[in-house]
Structure 1
Amino acid sequence: MAEQQVLDVPAIRERLAWIQERIERACRRAGRSPDEVTLIGVTKTFPVAVVQAAYEAGLRHFGENRVQELVAKAAVLPGRIEGGEVTWHMIGHLQRNKARDVVAHADWLHSLDNLRLAETLERRAAMADRVLPCFVEVNVSGEPTKFGLEPDAVHDFLDALAPFEHLEIVGLMTLAAPAEDPEAVRPQFRLLRRLAETYDRRNNPRVQLRYLSMGMSGDFEVAIEEGATHVRIGSALFGPRLEP
């Protein structure tokens, strides 16, 4: 039953073109270039065949929520860190005991949210002789079930990352609260952008905050209007999520 839901290359190509058109329209409304926005296809629970089909359709950035799925799929379609042609983004919550796998297989991490994790990633990245680009995750919605730093803790956390030479802090990431009307979460995206804009880099010059990872299938256009540089699209691209 589940296998019958998997889309083929033409279907994914059609959906990809539809999403890219929506990205372009959102960029025009915001006076931005579509080149500023990276589309990440979220392949959580989907088989590696879907990743391969999306690759054949032209997608090059993929996101995984679970480390074990990232490892399995990167073994078939390696990321750039392993000499491949795609970019793997680890976008889900990360436990410290999985840091080694992320350093080995993920090109980018979107969910850095505590110093103990930063310390572990720093040590693993140093051992691997690499620098790991990281987004700091922020809980802008205030939902107790969500991971991420409280907004008022973000700047102090960025300051505290100064000693970590193998972590490149490239931006902030968030998941907005579920909402039927995307306009309802616009203030949350705006808050993330404001947190990036107001950080005093004199406290940690290596922090760049060039990017904002925000926006998913239901709200990515509003996120782009508010400055998103990376949008994470799953169901709008691949259809309903398959059962694990």
Structure 2
Amino acid sequence: TKELVAAGITNLGENRTDMFQEKYEALKDNPDIKWHFFGILQTRKIREVANKIHCLHSLDKLSLAIELDKRLNSPLDCFVQVNISEEPNKSGVPVNKVKTFIKQLEKYPKIRVIGLMCIAKLTFDEDILKKSFAKMQKLKEEIESMNLPYAPCHELSMGMSNDYRIAVQYGATKVRLGRIFLI
């Protein structure tokens, strides 16, 4: 991670609270770093990351929003995680419940929904990936058109080292690259 920062990369992410804590402590004196958390965040672990991250990419439960709202010192940019592949073993709000979920977040002033996030099905079938990313793009546009002040939803966090090129074609504004850097 220090090598990435030395190379000028200052938007860093982690998906495990223990690894986040370790990296945060090692780099906390660098004010240029913006931390993103995109893993499952258990409510009991919120205090470990809440006021240290700049963006949460994995908001998928009302209980998480409630706890964050209680513990945050200031509003936090969040992505609502969508289970776009509708796989039962994946985290995320089901596609058909995303709008309702986002409407419920109005009650929590420290939660600002800046976009949607998904982890596509792990496949090399580009047609499946394109369908998933197109569905996310459409859903983002629908929510964005609702003009919710607490949920402008102008960003899409989708695509990882194996599929980010396709995700960008479908409007991804944030991609998660890890293996590509061989970290």
Larger Rg: 1
Correspondent of 2:9 among 52, 59, 81: 59
| Structure 2: gaps (5+ residues) | none
Q: Which letter does structure 2 place at the counterpart of 1:56?
A: A
CA distance in 1, matches of 2:173, 2:85: 19
CA contact (8 A) 1:171 1:208 kept: yes
Show the counterpart of 2:159.
215
Consecutive aligned runs of 4 or more in structure 1 exceeding 4 Å deviation? none
1:25-66 per-residue CA deviation (whole Å, 9 max, x = no partner) reads xxxxxxxxxxxxxxxxxxxxxxxxxx1001111211111010
CA distance in 2, matches of 1:68, 1:139: 24
Correspondent of 1:150 among 74, 94, 101: 94
- Greater strand share, structure number: 2
- Greater helix share, structure number: 1
Q: TM-score, normalised by structure 2?
A: 0.94
1:73 maps to 2:23: yes
Give the % identical residues: 35
Show the counterpart of 1:205.
149
Q: Which letter does structure 2 place at the counterpart of 1:145?
A: N
1:186 maps to 2:136: no
Using the TM superposition, give the Cα deviation of residue 184 of structure 1 relative to its aligned residue in structure 2, in angstroms.
2.8
Correspondent of 1:164 among 108, 123, 134: 108
Tell me which of the two structures has the higher relative contact order, counting C-alpha pairs closer than 8 angstroms and 6 or more residues apart.
1
1:171-221 per-residue CA deviation (whole Å, 9 max, x = no partner) reads 00000001124343111011111111112525x432110110000011001
Q: Which letter does structure 2 place at the counterpart of 1:118?
A: A
Structural mapping, 1:127-146, within 5 Å = 129-146=73-90
Structural mapping, 1:72-111, within 5 Å = 72-78=22-28, 84-111=31-58
Show the counterpart of 1:13.
none
1:83-137 per-residue CA deviation (whole Å, 9 max, x = no partner) reads 7211111010111011112212211100000111100000001xxx211111000
CA distance in 2, matches of 1:72, 1:148: 26
Count of residue correspondences: 182
CA distance in 1, matches of 2:127, 2:165: 10
- What secondary structure does 1:134 align onto? strand
- What secondary structure does 2:58 align onto? strand
